[in-house]
Amino acid sequence: MNKLPDLPNIKSELLDLPTLDKLDPVGDLQHPPRILMLYGSLRERSFSRFLTFEAARILEHFGAEVKIFDPMELPMVGSVPETHPKVVELRELCLWSEGQVWCSPERHGTITAVMKNQIDWIPLEMGAIRPSQGRTLALMQVCGGSQSFNVVNTMRLLGRWMRMFTIPNQSSVPMAYKEFDDAGRMRASGYYERVVDVMEELFKMTLLMRGRTDYLTDRYSERNEQARKAIDRQIEQL
């Protein structure tokens, strides 16, 4: 094992030296970008659902394949086995996705239970697979009153915890009941233009990340752990 004079705690054979060549995309990139959208309300006239569908139209215009998960009938996390059809559906959609959009109303200064329940059903790991790692993420919220950023800030923390690449731009729609017509379509406004900005940025970042996620999420600490486990397995076989 070669020692690095200035970095004695690092195993040089496990340390990657990033280059532009290593960022060349790999894999099948012919399909449209795959975007999963989650919203956080079960109300019949749900403004977070309206906003989600409005954003989906923009993404589809850009060329994305969009799937929107319906949280109705998704049980509370831990109340049923992981084989429940709605849980399986959500996890399969998460694995399918390359990017995601989370949109929640603000309830008592934070995200709703409906929104958190969906996120909580997505595990950090499923065996050797990490369903959310490396996905791009855009965040939106709707407010019943004045504009707030409590929800998008909370979801930004959750996105980091889920090892997702959360884009800088975000959308917060105040007094949402004024921003949608009777058919649930969003009215023209600066808030609508911000939604366009956010979806445009998400689409661009998803294109940029595709075919590079495995390399971008390859970590020294995890390579080191795998090397230690390999040595342990060899010792067990002696």
Instruction: Tell me phi and psi for residue 27, to 5 degrees.
Output: 95, -175
Q: How long a stretch of residues is the chain?
A: 238
25 DSSP β-pair partners: none
DSSP symbol at 74? P
In which band, very low, low, confident or very high, does the pLDDT at 39 lie, cut at 50, 70 and 90?
Answer: very high
CB neighbours of 69 closer than 8 A, spacing ≥ 6? 36, 37, 38, 89, 90, 93, 118
Does the residue 11 lie in any domain? no
Does the residue 3 lie in any domain? no
**pLDDT tens-digit profile of 161-212?**
999 999 999 999 999 999 999 999 999 999 999 999 999 999 999 999 999 9
Assessment of whether the complete model's pTM goes beyond 0.85: yes
**pLDDT tens-digit profile of 90-103?**
999 999 999 999 99
Does the residue 57 lie in any domain? yes
Does the residue 220 lie in any domain? yes
3-state secondary structure of 181: coil
Who wins on pLDDT, 129 or 81? 81
Residue 205: domain span: 29-236
pLDDT at 48 over 90: yes
CB 45 within 8 A of CB 53: no
CB neighbours of 85 closer than 8 A, spacing ≥ 6? none
**CATH number assigned to the domain comprising residue 211:** 3.40.50.360
Does the residue 227 lie in any domain? yes
pLDDT score for 232:
81
Does the residue 192 lie in any domain? yes
pLDDT score for 1:
61
What percentage of the chain exceeds 90 in pLDDT? 84
Does the residue 66 lie in any domain? yes
Neighbours of 73 (CB within 10 A): 9
pLDDT score for 129:
81
CB 151 within 8 A of CB 141: yes
Alpha carbons 73 and 183: distance in angstroms, whole number: 24
CB neighbours of 7 closer than 8 A, spacing ≥ 6? none
**pLDDT tens-digit profile of 122-171?**
998 887 788 899 999 999 999 999 999 999 999 999 999 999 999 999 99
DSSP symbol at 21? G
Total domains in the fold of the chain: 1
In which band, very low, low, confident or very high, does the pLDDT at 230 lie, cut at 50, 70 and 90?
Answer: confident
What percentage of the chain exceeds 70 in pLDDT? 99
Does the residue 19 lie in any domain? no
